[in-house]
Structure 1
Amino acid sequence: MTNHESFLPLTPPGQAPHRVMTIAGSDSGGGAGIQADLRTFAMLGLHGLVAITAVTVQNSVGVKGFHEIPLDVVAGQIEAVATDIGLQAAKTGMLASSDIIETVAETWDQLSLGVPLVVDPVCASMHGDPLLHPSALDALRTRLFPLATLVTPNLDEVRLLTGIDVVDTASQKDAARALHALGPRWALVKGGHLRASTHSPDLLFDGAEFHEFDAERVDTGHDHGAGDTLAAATASALAHGYSVPDAVAFGKRWVTECLRAAYPLGHGHGPVSALFRLNT
């Protein structure tokens, strides 16, 4: 893979780089969430802005609990940086509750930012620990998805959101149609959880046309934060003006390289690593 394919243009020293906001939860183990997003932004040469929605108590083994940030603080973080610093794109991750989702949606509407919004509908950790109250699924569908430029659920999240169990190409297309019907401009059904496949097929749909993105499955047990990293890289490319299909293709290439560079950490699953760029 060439640098042109792997990386985004860097801003000359002394000039303000493109800005991307992550609206998500903090991972105390540093593998996913806000921490994974900021690593990706930094390695791609963007300035990361943050609105923390929840603080999790987690490590490489699992999530022990989480604390939701007060609603006025969530809204205040978004407004403070958006009205002063400005941003070219944003992504969401762990939003924890219907109240937080409603607050993020209301704030986004009020600010009328007019920039791409990538919604990664985080419902549970990779260990199966819940990161979203079940009652919040409707808020995702009805309040946040209609604001999204792109939604990026994994197959477990697809099942929760649409009731469709993706097992092959036909059901993946059905899921993409069902997700798009909820209001986003584009829906991406990720195939990373099709463990029986030797490949990781992702399917993007805009209501009229399908775009397929495939990569060989990376043989690693360390994939913590892969979904966050894909969404963050895609949002970064959108901030640079990429089309949605080109941004998704870039995000797919980026997360594949991060999976190849993943490292062990603690006693469980280690994180994907954006630090591979330091070796290029």
Structure 2
Amino acid sequence: MTATKNRRIAHVVSIAGVDPSGGAGLLADIKTFSALGAYGCGIVAALTAQNTAAVTGVHTPPVDFLRLQIDTLFADVKLDAVKLGMLGSADIVRTVAERLAHYKAPNVVLDPVMIAKSGDALLSRNAVAMLIEALLPQSFIITPNLPEAGVLLESRAPESVKEMTRAAERLREMLPHSSERWVLLKGGHLPSSEVVDLLFDGDRMIELPAKRIETKNTHGTGCALSSAIAALLPQAAGQLHPVETAVRTARTWLLNAIAAADELAVGHGHGPIHHFHGLSRG
């Protein structure tokens, strides 16, 4: 899905944290946008000290400077989609929500980054409450994994596809009813040789299965998938089922990036996926 001669390349921004290893967060989002034919912009919502094995520190910018980043970018660049990743605190969530509402930001893709792979909470209860109150109403599509769904719904994480179906329905009830909104509930945490995601708009429940790829190098898969969707939504506009098309294309790209991940020997822990697997190396 690339831009034609008469079609402007989509401009997409990520508002997220920075992972210095490049496997997740803002740097990975920019790679994803570029790999999928969009022009990527980035706003720093957090800085982390991180590698493939651990997160050793987190620093968040003053909210006034975060607001200045957002206002300066939106004043100049026409943005076609917004990806939201790690936001870090209730004040940051509130500031992002206020500015996106002010600019009536389109195609907001919310990846509710709440829990680290270690199981540690990345958002306080106050920040989660603010996210539900201020950001969910502005989100066009949310992309929680199963532990994140449990946090949003104040329940245990779904443990089967049947429980995922009910969770997707409940998550959709948290979004505005008066306009098109979507939930992509990711089932990668279920112990199975097949990964099943559910895409739901309040009417159609679309089951998206895929064979699990065996590799330890899956760092940043959630970041990449939500960013891929943000990059592809503007490009799918005008098609018969634009959201389903964007999500299916994003998942295919991600699965290929995971399959090629072992070509990259980055670090000693859970390495990154291969964002640019589609580039010719001949």
TM-score, L = length of structure 1: 0.92
> Which amino acid in structure 1 is aligned with residue 188 of structure 2?
G
Match of 1:259 in 2: 258
Q: After alignment, is 34-43 or 67-76 more displaced?
A: 67-76
Counterpart of 2:276 in 1: which secondary structure? Answer: helix
Q: C-alpha separation between the residues in 1 aligned to 2:126 and 2:140?
A: 23
Indicate the RMSD between aligned Cα atoms, in angstroms: 1.7
Match of 1:117 in 2: 108
Q: C-alpha separation between the residues in 2 aligned to 1:187 and 1:58?
A: 29
Correspondences of 1:234-245 after superposition (within 5 Å): 234-242=229-237, 243-245=242-244
Counterpart of 1:201 in 2: which secondary structure? Answer: strand
Residues 132-179 of structure 1: CA distance to partner in whole angstroms, max 9, x if unpaired? Answer: 223211111111111100000111111111114211121001110111
Q: C-alpha separation between the residues in 1 aligned to 2:269 and 2:54?
A: 8
Match of 2:272 in 1: 271
- Return the match for 1:9 from 2, 15, 19: 2
- Match status 1:180 vs 2:187: no
Residues 228-277 of structure 1: CA distance to partner in whole angstroms, max 9, x if unpaired? Answer: 00001111111213421111111111111111011342121000111201
Counterpart of 2:194 in 1: which secondary structure? Answer: coil
Tell me by how many angstroms 1:16 deviates. Answer: 5.5
- Return the match for 2:186 from 180, 187, 190: 190
Runs of 4+ that moved beyond 4 A: none
Q: C-alpha separation between the residues in 1 aligned to 2:18 and 2:119?
A: 17
Counterpart of 2:199 in 1: which secondary structure? Answer: strand
Q: Answer whether contact 2:36 2:232 (CA < 8 A) is retained.
A: no
Match of 1:207 in 2: 202
Q: Answer whether contact 1:97 1:132 (CA < 8 A) is retained.
A: yes
Q: Answer whether contact 2:236 2:243 (CA < 8 A) is retained.
A: no
The number of residue pairs the alignment matches comes to: 270
- Match status 1:158 vs 2:149: yes
Residues 89-148 of structure 1: CA distance to partner in whole angstroms, max 9, x if unpaired? Answer: 1110000011111111100111123x1100000012223343322321111111111110
Q: Which runs of 5+ in 2 are unaligned?
A: none
- Return the match for 1:47 from 39, 43, 51: 39
- Return the match for 2:218 from 223, 245, 265: 223
Q: C-alpha separation between the residues in 2 aligned to 1:89 and 1:107?
A: 14
The percent identity for this pair of structures is: 38
TM-score, L = length of structure 2: 0.91
Q: C-alpha separation between the residues in 2 aligned to 1:134 and 1:29?
A: 28
Q: Which runs of 5+ in 1 are unaligned?
A: 1-7
Q: C-alpha separation between the residues in 2 aligned to 1:266 and 1:190?
A: 26
Q: C-alpha separation between the residues in 2 aligned to 1:126 and 1:110?
A: 34
Q: Answer whether contact 1:19 1:88 (CA < 8 A) is retained.
A: yes
Q: C-alpha separation between the residues in 2 aligned to 1:139 and 1:68?
A: 17
Tell me by how many angstroms 1:11 deviates. Answer: 5.2
> Which amino acid in structure 2 is aligned with residue 116 of structure 1?
N
Counterpart of 1:200 in 2: which secondary structure? Answer: strand
Tell me by how many angstroms 1:63 deviates. Answer: 0.7
